[in-house]
């Protein structure tokens, strides 16, 4: 075996050490890459799981009625849309929404325009709405007027959907020249209320509850006119029966506004209508707490004896007959009940708020017994 010099031997050892070091580095790099990949996959899995949890948690809220308007511009990026939705409270987390859209391969067919959402909708419901083209395009918003709402509550709904201050809406809906224009436009509907003494707002109750498409460029007069037009359209088929009843349109609308708040089912509303008409016929005050709350201009869970003394033509404890005009915008069903009351002798009713059942009678002692039982037990055994 040839003799190897110490110099060559050292060089070979150094080369072998270098090769071992390079192999260790390669193994380390491969190990790090695999570890980082595992971490990335874990993050994706957690993200998808968070989406699933968020989806399951919020799915039951997807059927909420729309209350928030968000305008999407043509060509707007998903990231910008997500930021808007998070800011408005439609979604909780813009990042999760973007991940959901990416995982579900959505976003390409999101429609420009103004979309209506509820707070904390499910991501599935949000995506569905964003793909909906019925918004009418940019600059058009949907405004929901709920049954039984007052002008001030409608003003608040308009402000929420459009950003138009409540004060501006109230100024427009009470403007004398505008109100006269509405009366001239729908004399059969509004002549009675326009001449009624003590009315707080002439158009109170005459903006029909429905969902309206509103073009922001058209202005408030157009929106309010649309609402009054709808009311006239709904009331018109009742005109012959109203005339036959001996009541004015305004009296029917005032009665309907009481029925709207006092009853829920069709049958209950018809019987409540008969109670109120029977009380009027017997010279008894209607004694509805709804009238007190409207007279006070506030909402309270409990009406006190002091509240019953409020000085107002809308106080139906102190004043007999109907109020000067409607106190909210009644539904078509409530209007129908006002026109077509049940045929009963009832002059009292008591509602069990726990069960939703309404008890009717013409016996005052029975009425007091129900009241006492409810106050004692929180429900009526009935």
Q: Which two tokens stand for residue 236?
A: 């018109």
Angle subtended by helix axes 166-173 and 151-162, to nearest 10: 130
Residue the block writes with tokens 């107002």: 312
Walk along the chain (382 residues) and give the pLDDT tens digit of each residue: 444 455 555 565 556 555 555 555 555 454 555 555 555 555 545 454 554 444 444 444 444 444 677 888 877 889 999 999 998 889 999 999 988 988 888 888 888 777 878 777 788 989 988 887 655 455 678 899 999 999 999 999 999 888 899 999 999 999 999 999 999 999 999 999 999 999 999 999 999 999 998 888 888 999 999 999 999 999 999 999 999 999 999 999 999 999 999 999 999 999 999 999 999 999 999 999 999 999 999 888 889 999 999 999 999 999 999 999 999 999 999 999 999 999 999 999 999 888 889 999 999 999 999 999 988 888 988 6
For 314, phi then psi, to 5°, come to -90, -5
Query: Helix, strand, coil proportions of the chain in percent (round to 5)?
Result: 55, 5, 35
8 Å CB contact between 82 and 175: no
DSSP 99-113: HHHHHTT--TTPPPE
Q: How far is the C-alpha of 273 from the C-alpha of 261, rounded, in Å? A: 12
pTM: 0.67
All residues at 6 or more sequence positions from 183 whose CB lies less than 8 Å from its CB, including other chains: 190, 191, 194, 202
All residues at 6 or more sequence positions from 169 whose CB lies less than 8 Å from its CB, including other chains: 154, 155, 158, 159, 220, 224
- Specify the DSSP class assigned to residue 90: S
Q: Where are the domains of the chain?
A: 68-131, 140-235, 246-377
8 Å CB contact between 326 and 338: no
Q: Which two tokens stand for residue 119?
A: 């707070």
Q: Of 185, 192, 328, 297, which is closest to residue 250 (Cα–Cα)?
A: 192
What confidence score (pLDDT) does residue 1 get?
Answer: 45
Domain 68-131 grouped into CATH 3.30.70.1400: no
All residues at 6 or more sequence positions from 381 whose CB lies less than 8 Å from its CB, including other chains: 373
- Residue 64 C-beta-side C-alpha neighbours within 13 Å: 18
Residue the block writes with tokens 């089912």: 265
């Amino acid at each position: 075996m040839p003799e190897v010099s110490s110099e060559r031997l050292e060089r070979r050892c150094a080369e072998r050490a270098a090769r071992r070091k390079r192999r260790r580095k390669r193994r380390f790099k491969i190990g790090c890459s695999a570890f980082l990949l595992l971490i990335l996959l874990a993050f994706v899995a957690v993200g998808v799981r968070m989406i699933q949890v968020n989806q399951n948690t919020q799915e039951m809220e997807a059927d909420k009625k729309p209350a928030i308007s968000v305008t999407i511009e043509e060509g707007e990026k998903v990231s910008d849309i997500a930021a808007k939705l998070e800011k408005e409270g439609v979604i909780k987390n813009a990042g999760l929404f973007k991940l959901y859209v990416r995982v579900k391969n959505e976003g390409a067919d999101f429609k420009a325009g103004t979309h209506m959402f509820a707070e904390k909708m499910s991501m599935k419901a949000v995506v569905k709405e964003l793909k909906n083209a019925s918004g009418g395009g940019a600059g058009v918003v949907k405004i929901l007027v709920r049954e039984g709402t007052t002008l001030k509550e409608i003003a608040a709904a308009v402000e929420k959907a459009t950003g138009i201050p409540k004060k501006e809406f109230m100024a427009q809906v009470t403007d004398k020249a505008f109100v006269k224009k509405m009366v001239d436009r729908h004399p059969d509907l509004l002549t009675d209320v326009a001449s009624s003494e003590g009315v707080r707002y002439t158009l109170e109750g005459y903006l029909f509850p429905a969902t309206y498409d509103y073009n922001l460029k058209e202005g408030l007069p157009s929106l309010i006119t649309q609402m009054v037009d709808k009311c006239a359209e709904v009331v018109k088929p009742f005109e012959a029966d109203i005339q036959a009843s001996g009541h004015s349109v305004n009296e029917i609308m005032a009665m309907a506004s009481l029925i709207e708040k006092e009853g829920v089912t069709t049958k209950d509303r018809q019987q409540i209508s008969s109670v109120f008409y029977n009380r009027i016929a017997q010279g008894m005050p209607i004694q509805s707490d709804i009238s007190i709350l409207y007279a006070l201009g506030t909402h309270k869970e409990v009406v006190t004896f002091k509240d019953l003394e409020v000085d107002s033509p809308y106080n139906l404890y102190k004043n007999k007959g109907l109020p000067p005009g409607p106190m909210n915008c009644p539904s078509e069903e409530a209007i129908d009940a006002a026109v077509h009351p049940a045929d009963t002798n009832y002059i009292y009713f008591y509602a069990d708020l726990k069960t939703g059942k309404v008890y009717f009678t013409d016996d005052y002692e029975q009425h007091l017994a129900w009241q006492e039982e409810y106050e004692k037990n929180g429900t009526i055994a009935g």
